Structure 1
Amino acid sequence: MKLTIVGCTGSFPGPGSPASCYLLTATDGERTWKVVMDLGSGALGAIQRYTDLEDIDAIFLTHLHPDHCMDLCGLHVAVRWKPGGWDRGRIPVWGPAATADRMATAYGLDLDPGMHEEFDFTNWSERRPVTVGPFTVTPYAVNHPVEEAYALRVDVVEPDKDGNPVARTLTYSGDTDSCPGLEEAAKNADLFLCEAAFEEGRDDGIKDVHLTGKRAGEAAAAANARRLLLTHIPVWTSQTTVMAEARPVFPGDVAVAVAGVHYTI
């Protein structure tokens, strides 16, 4: 499984990165599948560096803050108005129950049909897995001040060079503060892609919104994750600080996500 960091800046795009968007690529032995986790503000342009839009097999949204979903509006335009027509049919989109109506409202559309002609919307059911090609994605409710927010556990079984099946797990925190659901989603993950928007000391008075590097590291350690990749770092938060907070509490490898970088899991 390959992870491409399309966008990793928290809350709004920064000078070097769009907001949250991650492209996952894996094979089932017959063809390559591509799925997207979140499509935040500014991400639609950048993702075209790594894939044709028509090659996206599914989109998984963690929650409905604009920095995680708003570029679905631009993708709606690409699907609806491509000269000669869109060849792949409706794009499957999994998200919170309000996703279809929220996107229609954002673009000024009537709720019926809204964007249903471009996207096949399905609501998450907590801890009920969905399968797309080699990807099995399970949502876990997490601690963020919206009606629905999820961490996503992505399990993949791919053939190795000899054709033998190999299982790998990536967990993506979405946006959350510390909570049991986050640790359960990340249990024994090979790579834990975890937000760290806050800094210890600076943001102590704000509860139930975001993690610090320390709290991300504590969650990774409790989950027995192998690698920790910190993400969703706003322009006013120091990457050096959150990484330094995580390292003393997490014994595994710690790094900071960088837009345009690929990771093999």
Structure 2
Amino acid sequence: MMLTVIGNTGSFPGPNSPASCYLLTGEDHQGRTWRVILDMGNGSLGVLQRQLALEDIDAVMISHLHPDHCVDLAGLHVAVKWDPRGWKAGRIPLYGPSGLHDYLNRSHAMPDGHSMETEFVFNVWRERQPVTVGPFTVTPFEVEHPCPESYALRITFDGPMGPSVMTYSGDTDYCDGLVDAARDADLFLCEAAYEEGREDHLRGIHLTGYRAGQAAAQAKVHQLLLTHLPVWNSPTRTRREGIAAFDGPVGIAEPGYTYKVVSENVTISGALARPVTAD
């Protein structure tokens, strides 16, 4: 499978990146290419269109209902409903917490009872119950974050070149659910919004690079890719924290980079080899 980072910024968009959004692509055994979106935070919809036509989206999967992970679904709804050329792709499957439909209605100030089911097919996550979209099987694991129904997503890919596994943390602090979701993953895409020594008094919200590294080590993942960095974070410091806790390759998720995830290996164009001294 291929992972393209659309946005890696935490809490709100930065000057060089939207908030959280990731594009997964992969071929099935019949040669059809599938495209699944993980989260759609602020600013992601515009940048996403550099990578694909919106009509080619096969599914959108939302980890939790904070704006920096889902608010640009409101714009996607407009694209489906109001394109004067007509929308020929059919309803887009959405997977997310049970409140997703109401959240989208509120984002458009719609009255109670208004339905967006003419544009989207709403599917509700069930703890550790997998769903399949083409060659992707996605299992949600409940994690620790101050938002109802927050999930890490474990993605298993079955393609012509063999299976591979990627885990996306969503937003979370260190917890058993996160480690279970990441167990033996080929690539662990993990948030690191906090820094050691700066937010030590805040727990149950976000990870530091160090705690992300601890989770990666406990889960025995093969490679760690840190993401969800607010504009005030130093990528260099975050990566150093990860390296201090995890002895495998550690990198920063770079906006616009594409990562090829295959079993026990991730082929990239430089991010995991990024010098520690580069900021």
| AA at the equivalent of 1:23 | L
Structure-1 separation of matches of 2:256 and 2:116: 29
Q: Alpha-carbon deviation of 1:249? A: 1.3
Structure 1 Cα separation of the partners of residues 118 and 99 of structure 2: 17
Is 1:220 the counterpart of 2:216? The answer is yes
Which residue in the other structure is 1:2 paired with? 2
The answer (yes or no) to whether the contact 1:54–1:87 under 8 Å persists in 2 is: yes
- Alignment-derived partner of residue 28 in structure 2: 28
Gaps of 5+ in 1: 161-165
C-alpha separation in 2, matches of 1:184 and 1:202 = 27
Residue 49 and residue 4 in structure 1: after superposition, are their counterparts in 2 closer, same or farther (change >3 A)?
same
- What is the match of residue 201 of structure 2? 205
AA matched with 1:13: P
- 2:54 is matched with which residue? 53
| Residue equivalent to 2:188 | 192
In structure 1, the residue matched to 2:139 is: 138
Question: In structure 1, which of residues 177, 182, 202 is the aligned counterpart of residue 178 of structure 2?
Answer: 182
1:1-265 mapped onto 2 (5 Å cutoff): 1-30=1-30, 31-160=32-161, 166-265=162-261
What is the CA-CA distance between 1:116 and the residue it aligns to?
Answer: 1.7
* Cα separation, 2, equivalents of 1:114 and 1:207: 37
Q: Read off the aligned partner of 2:59 and give its amino acid letter.
A: A
**CA deviation profile, 1:7-46 (whole Å, cap 9, x unmatched):** 0100000000000000000111220000000001100000
SS in 1 for 2:104: helix
RMSD over aligned Cα, in angstroms? 0.7
Deviation at 1:248, TM superposition (A): 1.9
What percentage of aligned pairs have identical amino acids? 56
CA distance in 1, matches of 2:114, 2:27: 34
Structure 2 length normalisation: TM-score?
A: 0.92
- What is the Cα deviation at residue 106 of structure 1? 1.0
CA contact 1:101–1:114 (8 Å) conserved in 2: no
What letter is aligned with 1:36? I
What is the CA distance between 1:253 and its match in structure 2? 0.4
CA shift, 1:110, in A, is: 2.4
SS in 2 for 1:144: coil
1:188 and 1:223 in contact (8 A); partners too: yes
Question: How far off is 1:146 after superposition?
Answer: 0.8
- How big is the shift at 1:102? 0.7
Figure out how many residues of one structure are paired with residues of the other and give that number: 260
Provide the rounded CA distance (Å) in 1 between the counterparts of 2:74 and 2:55.
15
Deviation at 1:109, TM superposition (A): 1.4
Decide which moves more: 233-242 or 135-144. Answer: 233-242
Tell me the amino acid that sits aligned with residue 65 of structure 1. Answer: H
Say if 1:43 and 1:71, in contact at 8 Å, map to a contact too: yes
